[in-house]
Structure 1
Amino acid sequence: MRIISSDEIDACLEDRDVIETLRRAFRSNTIAPGIPEQVIERLDQAAGRLNVQPAWTNFTAQGDVTRGYVGCSLSLELPEQKTSSSSLYILFSGTGAQPIALIDGMRLGAWRSAALHALAASYLSREDTARLLVIGDNPLLPRVLSAYATTRNLTSILFAGTSAETRRKAANQPSLAKVSLGETTEIHAAQEGADMICVAGPDSERGSFHALTYLDPPVGCHVDVLDNAATIPSAFLEEARLFSSNMAAPPNPDLEWAADLFELAKGSKAGRRYYGQRTLFLPSAKTGLEDYALAAHVFLRS
């Protein structure tokens, strides 16, 4: 069995290939059943959580058992962790059942998340999207911004409430070398000129989503939400066309979702219907299909 490290993952991946790998995955008939998150009770502490997300080649539809894989992501969150979670991905041969790869799930997840949001943006943001406003901070931001630049010709990015370290890492992304990067504290004014808004996470200094209380994107703007904890104003949610990655497990079942990435990738439902429409993307917590597709991609190229 091969052990594939974070450095090896970075060495064999490129934004465009990862985005297209996920696009093909959403068009495939890969099987990715949902398994409820397991609660781990802890003495005198908040509970821990174990998330198991399997997926495998549809051997019946394929009509062949001599090729294909079975995989599973394992993520563990405990109250005393300093990071959000720890994660591994294990890939088995679909023929002999032997484990063939153990992959760094944290780095795999970072690439998957970035490509997922960029894939959604390729369907939901306007083709002439050039000006991006980033609200808040998130360690995934440099990777996500690099992926955005693969799908849209960005000319400027304004950061609001993003840490200096995250901005520095973003500036070092090769794909953003020709993009103008700046800062602003006037979020209300900045969003008026934005073609796309990324709700990345809490303000790096305040530790809250204070800016979202007056989130009011201009017509034609696409809003991409990285942090599911963000509270988006109800007025915007009622007016915008809403999308997620997997309608089998939408992030908020009470909202009216227009389509998911399965439907967008297969062309069975439309994304942006007209130029001035406001759209929003909020991913599902179910990522078994995406993790499986990317794990197989890494295994074949590393």
Structure 2
Amino acid sequence: MRIITAQEIEEVMNFRDLLETLRRAFRVGAVAPSPLTQRIARPTGFDDGSLTISSAWHDFAAQDTIERGFIGTRIESSLPGSQEHQSPSVAGVYLLQSGKTGTPLALLDGKALVNWRTAATSALASSYLSREDSSRLLMVGAGSLAPYLIEAHASVRSIKEVLVWNRSPAGAQQLVEAMQGQAFTISATTDLGGAVRGADIVCCATSTHTPLIKGEWLQEGTHLDLVGSTHADQRECDNEVISQARLFLDSYDTTPTTAGELQEPLADGVLSLQDIASDLAELCQGDRAGRRFYEQITLFKSTGTALADLAAAGHVYLRV
């Protein structure tokens, strides 16, 4: 069995190729049971954590694809208190197995894989949902995922200007300095409302419990990409955003039950499941339309899918 490190993943990845792998994967589909999440009790003084196990495999009788023949399982822990020990709060590994024999093929760095998978999924959705002339990107949040999201969106649209907003202005400035020398200009801002009003694409990757993006700030034609909040008590946008936007998901199966952006509007009657326009599989398969007109506001909500994990892991394995 091969051990594939974060550095090796970085060396073989580029968003253009990965997007096409994901596009094919969402067209073909996979078997992906609901993820299993268990609570991890923490010592006094730390928040409780969680352990999530999600798996996927291809239906080998269905279609022959480049990713055929793999079974994959992501094992991920979320331990908020670990940051006090200079360790990431979310960490894990991805086990890739032969679909024919079950033989373990590779153990991949989970964090690096998820960074690339998450950003590529957002860019794939943007290729259907954002305006083709989108040139101004707002990045809300300056964590480890942010540079991947910026580069991913820039791979599908001709981004000329990037603004970064973060609760800590120093964090935003640090990201800006790290991403100098790109084909776009990048700078930090402390005016979130003004930045949203001027953006063609608003990308959020935060763990906020209080909505950051307000519907009153949205302009016609904006595309929102919300990837940061993945729990029921987290929300990156308010109800007014939900009521204005045409809503798309990465997956019908898991996102409505896990995303705080949806649960509260569903409970308040602001949103019904029938209001959801499509998931990513239907977009990639051509069964549903994406953006319908230039002025439309679109929103893509992602919480991660086992299908995308499997496709990304197979993509890496075939290239390392």
Q: TM-score, normalised by structure 1?
A: 0.88
Match of 1:230 in 2: 235
Match of 1:167 in 2: 176
Give the CA RMSD over aligned residues: 2.3
Matched, 1:23 2:20: no
Determine if contact 2:3/2:108 at 8 Å carries over to the other structure: yes
Match of 1:300 in 2: 318
1:262 partner letter: A
Match of 1:271 in 2: 290
> How do residues 273-292 of structure 1 correspond to structure 2 at under 5 angstroms?
273-285=292-304, 287-292=305-310
1:211 CA drift (Å): 5.0
Match of 2:12 in 1: 12
Per-residue CA shift, 1:177-207, capped at 9, x if unaligned?
22122233333333333211122337xxxx8
Seen in structure 2, the aligned counterparts of structure 1 residues 43 and 182 have a Cα distance that, compared at 3 Å, is: closer
Determine if contact 2:165/2:189 at 8 Å carries over to the other structure: yes
Distance in 2 separating the partners of 1:234 and 1:130: 27
1:266 CA drift (Å): 0.6
> How do residues 1-302 of structure 1 correspond to structure 2 at under 5 angstroms?
1-44=1-44, 46-62=47-63, 68-82=69-83, 83-161=88-166, 163-171=172-180, 177-201=182-206, 212-213=213-214, 216-228=217-229, 229-250=234-255, 251=259, 252-253=262-263, 254=266, 255=271, 256-285=275-304, 287-302=305-320
The 3-state SS of whatever aligns with 1:139 is: coil
Question: How many residues get paired?
Answer: 291
Determine if contact 1:201/1:209 at 8 Å carries over to the other structure: no
Seen in structure 2, the aligned counterparts of structure 1 residues 164 and 190 have a Cα distance that, compared at 3 Å, is: closer
Identity rate, percent: 37
1:36 CA drift (Å): 3.0
1:134 partner letter: M
1:280 CA drift (Å): 1.0
Seen in structure 2, the aligned counterparts of structure 1 residues 267 and 62 have a Cα distance that, compared at 3 Å, is: closer
1:5 CA drift (Å): 0.5
The 3-state SS of whatever aligns with 1:158 is: strand
